[in-house]
Chains A and B, each alone.
Chain A
């Protein structure tokens, strides 16, 4: 069955270390997204990509970086410049060309100690 896989489910890192969160989809979707969720807040967009080798900053891109070398993969790196990295991170994908719902992964909970 097609879907989105995020790994790992839980991730612990020391402060000052970069960490990369994986997101892979086999839905043949062109567009992919990274969201962050904090307690009491809605999902906030970090980065998105509508096509391979191209991506745009979302509303809270500072301290994060992404790459889109393959259609199936959209990894997110949380750098040491991100002031409050502890959060729940969700990846999503969507068909382009028309109005479509998003398909979400199951998320990665990152804790920085």
Chain B
């Protein structure tokens, strides 16, 4: 059974602090790794889709890294703001199969 693990499950961060969390996935038959941000009462929004080992992507204060050999990705948020409060989902795509497998998410709460 393929499993995508995200940790921690929940995280409280003071406004202005930086933070990061992890996504672990099977290292064999890797095709792509997705990150999504899901704010309450909204639709999940694509942040990054990463394919290459060692890849780093950045969008404003949010960045992600990818290690396909050991099967993990980190998502970093620099200088957290209230609008960063959301659930962050990662999803793993195997081979060129069009299905992706989601983790359970990391719920981030930014404290004022």
Among B12-20, B44-52, B64-72, the stretch that binds chain A is: B44-52
Q: A37: nearest residue on chain B (CB-CB)?
A: B102
**Chain B interface main SS type:** strand
Q: Pick the contact of A100: B42, B44, B45, B49 (CB < 8 A).
A: B49
A101 within 8 A of partner (CB): yes
A102 to B49, CA, bound (A): 10
- A41 x B98 contact (CB < 8 A): no
Given A41-B104, A42-B4, A43-B89, the answer on whether A31 and B43 have CB atoms closer than 8 Å is: no
- Smallest beta-carbon distance A52→chain B, Å: 15
A89 within 8 A of partner (CB): no
Which residues of chain A come closer than 8 Å to B100, judged between CB atoms?
A: 102
A106 to B44, CA, bound (A): 8
Which residues of chain A come closer than 8 Å to B91, judged between CB atoms?
A: 43
Given A99-B51, A101-B49, the answer on whether A45 and B99 have CB atoms closer than 8 Å is: yes
- Smallest beta-carbon distance B92→chain A, Å: 11
Which residues of chain B come closer than 8 Å to A31, judged between CB atoms?
A: 98
A20 within 8 A of partner (CB): no
Given A45-B99, A58-B99, the answer on whether A101 and B46 have CB atoms closer than 8 Å is: yes
Mask, A85-100, CB within 8 Å of B = 1, is 0000010001010011
A103 within 8 A of partner (CB): yes
Which residues of chain B come closer than 8 Å to A94, judged between CB atoms?
A: 98
Report the 8 A-B pairs with minimum CB-CB distance, sorted nearest first.
A101-B46, A42-B102, A43-B102, A104-B43, A42-B104, A104-B44, A106-B43, A101-B49
Q: Given known contacts A42-B101, A42-B103, A90-B44, what 6 new A-B pairs fall within 8 Å (CB)?
A: A44-B102, A99-B32, A101-B48, A104-B44, A106-B43, A107-B43
Chain A residues near B (Cβ < 8 Å): 4, 31, 35, 40-45, 48, 50, 58, 90, 94, 96, 99-107
